[in-house]
Chains A and B, each alone.
Chain A
Amino acid sequence: DTAVSQTPKYLVTQMGNDKSIKCEQNLGHDTMYWYKQDSKKFLKIMFSYNNKELIINETVPNRFSPKSPDKAHLNLHINSLELGDSAVYFCASSRLAGELTDTQYFGPGTRLTVL
Chain B
Amino acid sequence: KNQVEQSPQSLIILEGKNCTLQCNYTVSPFSNLRWYKQDTGRGPVSLTIMTFSENTKSNGRYTATLDADTKQSSLHITASQLSDSASYICVVQKGTGGFKTIFGAGTRLFVKA
Alpha-carbon gap, A108 to B91, bound state (A): 19
Interface size (B, Cβ < 8 Å)? 21
Report the stretch among B38-46, B61-69, B71-79 that lies at the interface.
Answer: B38-46
**CB of A12 to closest CB in B, whole Å:** 16
A99 CB contacts on chain B under 8 angstroms: 93, 99-101
Q: A40-B105, A99-B99 are known contacts. Are A107 and B43 too (CB-CB below 8 A)? A: yes
Q: Of the candidates B32, B103, B105, B106, which one forms a contact with A101 in the assembled complex, judged by CB atoms under 8 Å apart?
A: B32
Whether B44 and A43, one on each chain, are in contact in the complex, defined by CB atoms closer than 8 angstroms, is yes
Identity of the chain A residue whose Cβ is nearest the Cβ of B45 in the assembled complex:
A106
Whether A4 and B43, one on each chain, are in contact in the complex, defined by CB atoms closer than 8 angstroms, is yes
Q: Kindly state whether residue B87 has any CB partner on chain A within 8 Å.
A: yes
Whether B51 and A101, one on each chain, are in contact in the complex, defined by CB atoms closer than 8 angstroms, is yes
**CB of A50 to closest CB in B, whole Å:** 12
Task: Give chain B's interface residues, CB within 8 Å of chain A.
Answer: 31-32, 41-46, 49, 51, 87, 89, 91, 93, 98-101, 103, 105-106
Task: Give chain A's interface residues, CB within 8 Å of chain B.
Answer: 4, 40-45, 56, 90, 92, 98-101, 103-109
